[in-house]
Chains A and B, each alone.
Chain A
């Protein structure tokens, strides 16, 4: 059933520019680093990251990827929920022989899947960029995959939150402003303690163990999803 819901959701987002954005985000992040490394090649490659070229590239990509994920997931959640809001069709969707739980988790899973595609594209793009920049083929796959997928897993609470907000509010200005605020706050999150959820996707914690941030993200993500679900199944829709 979940698969059929997901395929229905995938049908709904066709020709809505959503796939375009899913590709644009990674291309933008990798492209900006291409410009960054291209313009400052002598400085970055010759001096700063001379001993660990791939490590330097991956680090730079991640620095841009995490804030972009924060705002990207807010825009994505808004566009996905906006399909029903714009056509006033929540009643119609819920009148189908599907449960509200399935509809809500369907939207959440769609967001998750699309962002997973984006994250994978970032990893692939980084490999291409590194090879084009002449960093050789000794690609540290382990480091690269961790740098891309750990933040994705740690950011799950925010995917659940934005999905919840975007589905709940008809006026998308509110969820989107929360998303913008989240991105900006996350960039200042280093100043906060490890309890601060906006810090988790940066994988920085006192124990220096990225997996702690990932575990917190996944656990709290489930909590937020459950809270959203509990609200949505009781909510009155227009």
Chain B
């Protein structure tokens, strides 16, 4: 298992991936920097308003779509030039290969989330909010957003192992993520739609953002996330274990 992790690490280090990690936190940071207005000049930095604003950019489309890009990336070297045959002819089990690839996808999502948090903390501190950082809300938001990406990563890894084209798995991702723009406003349907969960999970529950589906108990969200994760992961794993490479 450890050897597999090391070999995956070898494949992705020094690749374009490190640039990709910065894109969403960077753009969210720009919105946070120029979009947030203090209620009164010199007043405390509005942490949760900044979080809500940056989340709207980061979690509605970026995070679900980036999860798909990461999943396609960790399969790229195997699709190019018959790498699957080579990798699976080594003394490794398919299950382990699949799990390690999944761990890397979620690891990259985790790094994205940490960078997002770092950018938010940087902006807030620079704007004078250093004294009263609402740690539990910020960490909770970033952590829940990561959890909500579990089912998405599982599905994307499944389609990424299935298709050798880079863009085709992403097209699947886009097909399901575009409806977020409409679904997010619907209190009836959003709680059951896995692709909108990162947004719901990261949005803070105050400051006028408590319309639509943004006020749901976290238990509902968690069961939808975990339920779809189990289905997608087991489906993808069962497919990969039998796939002809």
Task: List residues of A whose CB falls within 8 A of some B CB.
Answer: 16-17, 21, 24, 28, 32, 35-36, 39, 63-64, 67-68, 71-72, 75, 78-79, 82, 86, 171-174, 176-177, 180-181, 183-185, 187-188, 191
- The one of A32, A171, A180 in contact with B61, judged by C-beta atoms closer than 8 angstroms, is A180
Q: Which single residue of chain B is at the shortest CB-CB distance from A63?
A: B181
The answer to whether the Cβ of B170 comes within 8 Å of any Cβ in the partner chain is yes
Q: Are B167 and A64 in contact (CB under 8 A)?
A: no
Report the Cα distance A180→B178, complex, angstroms. 11
* CB-defined contacts of A187 to chain B, threshold 8 Å: 61
Task: List residues of B whose CB falls within 8 A of some A CB.
Answer: 15-17, 19-20, 23-24, 27, 31, 35, 57, 61-62, 65-66, 69, 72-73, 76, 79-80, 164-168, 170-171, 174-175, 178-179, 181-182, 186
Q: Would you give the shortest CB distance from B94 to chain A, in whole angstroms?
A: 23
Interface of A is mostly: helix
Q: Which single residue of chain A is at the shortest CB-CB distance from B35?
A: A191
* CB-defined contacts of A72 to chain B, threshold 8 Å: 174
- The one of B20, B35, B166, B181 in contact with A82, judged by C-beta atoms closer than 8 angstroms, is B166
Report the Cα distance A28→B24, complex, angstroms. 26
Interface of B is mostly: helix
- The one of B19, B35, B66, B168 in contact with A17, judged by C-beta atoms closer than 8 angstroms, is B168
Q: Are B57 and A184 in contact (CB under 8 A)?
A: yes
* CB-defined contacts of A183 to chain B, threshold 8 Å: 61
Known: A82-B165, A171-B15. A64 touches B181 (CB 8 A): yes
Q: Are B65 and A180 in contact (CB under 8 A)?
A: yes
Q: Are A82 and B167 in contact (CB under 8 A)?
A: yes
Q: Would you give the shortest CB distance from A20 to chain B, in whole angstroms?
A: 9
Q: Are A75 and B167 in contact (CB under 8 A)?
A: yes
Report the Cα distance A115→B230, complex, angstroms. 37
- The one of B73, B79, B175 in contact with A173, judged by C-beta atoms closer than 8 angstroms, is B73
